[in-house]
């Protein structure tokens, strides 16, 4: 068999691996041979994800990456224990709907800490000499919200747009180190966040019906996003860097 | 916190003139009470009172008084 995506023995770090897209990505990457190091705040949830993985050699690390001060020591410890990295998936993120006029500075700060500053610092730390193998690939989980304007999304959208914009710049500098970096931009995906959204608005609500009109292939499953990540993190995508790839059921065509 | 102080909070987030709302104001009669106003209410209740409002609870609000009853600091 000539598998397009083969990550046998590649050490991939997944930040935000305990739920949603991060969790599904971990399961998917383990199925194509990766050895994973999972990071999240909740140890119990991480252990449950570990139980779902295929193969051996997986590891986990408990940390809250919204505190950027812990990132350098975390990366050092992970590399010392698990070896240099072949890839990073940054899936940590928060995304509450907050009307602009209630978007106080502390809310902006706390969202950016997780969605952007954590990502920025993790990429910086893993890209230091000795911490990665040649050909390392990085995928950040952004959002289609970064590409569109919407009410109550000023904080979330700008935090993801910051991620996309940084990636375009990082790609140019990191190419010298044979590192490629991209983001995926999912639209609404069936995760806990979507369940919260449905609980808040209701499945038959006007808001949800309008969403499904724009996102005309339906609600994405975490597997849809994990598949796109698996491609971008693999050597098959070696000629792709600095992009934001929508995985959006048609949303950005509307 | 008095009812008047709570009403002032609602008037502020919905950008209504002071004195627009009273405890017996029917929400369906308030033009500004739309989906964004409901979202503003969700954020206010969470931020200030630690109350997580669901769609069903919001649907049950008929008058301002119904909201005030949940505006209790834990």
Q: Which domains can be identified in chain B, with CATH numbers?
A: 3-68 (1.10.1200.10)
Residue A49's pLDDT is 98
CA distance B46 to chain A (A): 11
Which residue has 């040649």 as its token pair? Answer: A134
| Bridge partners, A195 (sequence order) | none
The percent of residues in chain B predicted with pLDDT above 70, rounded, is: 99
- Quick check: helix, strand or coil at residue A139? strand
Q: How many helices (H) and strands (E) does chain A have?
A: 9, 7
Picking from A184, A244, A246, the residue whose alpha carbon sits closest to that of residue A214 is A246
- Quick check: helix, strand or coil at residue A150? coil
At residue A201, does pLDDT exceed 80?
A: no
Contact A200 B47 (CB under 8 A): no
Contact A99 B15 (CB under 8 A): no
Contact B43 A99 (CB under 8 A): yes
From CA A251, how far away is CA B6, in angstroms rounded? 40
> pLDDT tens digits, residue range B4-40?
999 999 999 999 999 999 999 999 999 999 989 999 9
Residue A2's pLDDT is 61
At residue A68, does pLDDT exceed 80?
A: yes
Cα three-residue angle B36-A163-A211, rounded to 5 degrees: 35
Q: Which of A3-17, A47-61, A62-76, A193-207 has the lowest mean pLDDT?
A: A193-207
From CA A75, how far away is CA A170, in angstroms rounded? 19
Which of B14, B16, B37, B39 is the best residue to mutate to test the A interface, defined by the most A CB atoms within 10 Å of its own CB? B39
Question: Which residues of B touch chain A, with CB atoms under 8 Å apart?
Answer: 13, 15, 35-36, 39-40, 42-44, 47, 53-56
Which residue has 């995506």 as its token pair? Answer: A5
Closest residue in A to B40 (Cα–Cα): A99
Tell me the CA distances in angstroms from A201 to A30, A112, A153, A204, one per residue in order.
Answer: 35, 25, 16, 8
For residue A204, what pLDDT band results from cuts at 50, 70 and 90? confident
Q: Under CATH, which number does the domain A11-189+221-245 receive?
A: 3.40.50.720
From CA A54, how far away is CA A35, in angstroms rounded? 9
Mean pLDDT (whole number) for A5-26: 96
Closest residue in B to A107 (Cα–Cα): B47
From CA B65, how far away is CA A177, in angstroms rounded? 63
Cα three-residue angle A45-A126-A87, rounded to 5 degrees: 65
Contact A200 B43 (CB under 8 A): no
The percent of residues in chain A predicted with pLDDT above 70, rounded, is: 99
Which residues in A lie closer than 8 A to residue B43 (C-beta atoms)? 96, 98-99, 102
Cα three-residue angle A237-A238-A240, rounded to 5 degrees: 70
Closest residue in A to B36 (Cα–Cα): A99
CA distance A157 to chain B (A): 17
At residue A187, does pLDDT exceed 70?
A: yes
For residue A58, what pLDDT band results from cuts at 50, 70 and 90? very high
Cα-Cα-Cα-Cα dihedral sign, residues A123, A124, A129, A131:
negative
Residue A196's pLDDT is 76
Beta strand pairing status for A244-247 and A85-90? unpaired
Cα-Cα-Cα-Cα dihedral sign, residues B40, B43, B47, B52:
positive
Residue A195's pLDDT is 82
Mean pLDDT (whole number) for B35-48: 93
At residue A96, does pLDDT exceed 90?
A: no
Average pLDDT of chain B to the nearest whole number = 94
Residue A225's pLDDT is 98
Position with higher pLDDT, A110 vs A205: A110
Contact A151 B55 (CB under 8 A): no
Beta strand pairing status for A11-15 and A35-40? parallel
At residue A1, does pLDDT exceed 60?
A: no
DSSP letter, residue B17: P
Which residue has 């004195």 as its token pair? Answer: B19
Which of B43, B46, B48, B54 is the best residue to mutate to test the A interface, defined by the most A CB atoms within 10 Å of its own CB? B43
Element (H, E) at A133: strand A132-141
The percent of residues in chain A predicted with pLDDT above 90, rounded, is: 85
ipTM above 0.85, yes or no: no
At residue A197, does pLDDT exceed 80?
A: no
Contact A101 B36 (CB under 8 A): no
CA distance A100 to chain B (A): 9
Candidates A99, A102, A201; nearest CB to B55: A201
From CA A38, how far away is CA A164, in angstroms rounded? 23
From CA A77, how far away is CA A38, in angstroms rounded? 13
Mean pLDDT (whole number) for A81-86: 98
Q: Which residues contact A73 (CB under 8 A, 6 or more apart)?
A: none
Average pLDDT of chain A to the nearest whole number = 94
DSSP letter, residue A144: G
Closest residue in B to A206 (Cα–Cα): B35
């Amino acid at each position: 068999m000539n598998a397009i995506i083969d990550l046998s023995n590649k050490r991939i770090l997944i930040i935000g691996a305990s739920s949603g897209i991060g969790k599904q990505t971990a399961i998917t990457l383990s199925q194509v041979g990766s050895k994973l190091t999972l990071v999240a705040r909740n140890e119990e949830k991480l252990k449950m994800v570990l139980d779902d993985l295929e193969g051996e050699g997986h590891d986990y690390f408990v940390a809250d990456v919204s505190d950027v001060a812990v990132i350098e020591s975390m990366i050092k410890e992970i590399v010392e224990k698990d070896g240099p990295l072949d890839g990073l998936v940054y899936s940590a993120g928060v995304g509450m709907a907050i009307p602009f006029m209630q978007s106080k500075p502390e809310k902006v700060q706390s969202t950016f800490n997780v969605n952007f500053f954590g990502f920025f610092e993790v990429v910086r730390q893993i890209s230091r000499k000795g911490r990665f193998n040649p050909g390392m690939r990085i995928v950040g989980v952004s959002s289609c919200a970064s590409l569109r304007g919407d009410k109550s999304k000023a904080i979330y959208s700008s935090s993801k747009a910051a991620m996309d914009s940084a990636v375009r710049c990082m790609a140019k500098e990191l190419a010298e180190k044979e590192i490629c970096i991209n983001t995926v931009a999912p639209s609404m995906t069936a995760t806990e966040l979507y369940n919260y959204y449905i609980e808040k608005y209701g499945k038959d609500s006007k808001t949800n019906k309008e969403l499904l009109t724009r996102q005309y292939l339906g609600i994405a499953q975490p597997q849809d996003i994990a598949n796109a990540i698996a491609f971008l993190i693999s050597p098959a995508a070696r000629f792709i860097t600095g992009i934001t790839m929508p995985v959006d059921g048609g949303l950005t065509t509307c | 916190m008095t009812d008047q102080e709570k009403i002032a909070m609602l008037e502020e987030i919905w950008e209504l003139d002071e004195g627009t709302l009273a405890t017996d104001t029917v929400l369906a009669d308030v033009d500004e009470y739309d989906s964004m106003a409901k979202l503003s209410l969700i954020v206010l209740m969470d931020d200030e009172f630690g109350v997580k409002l669901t769609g069903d609870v919001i649907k049950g609000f008929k008058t301002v008084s119904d909201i005030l009853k949940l505006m209790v600091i834990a």
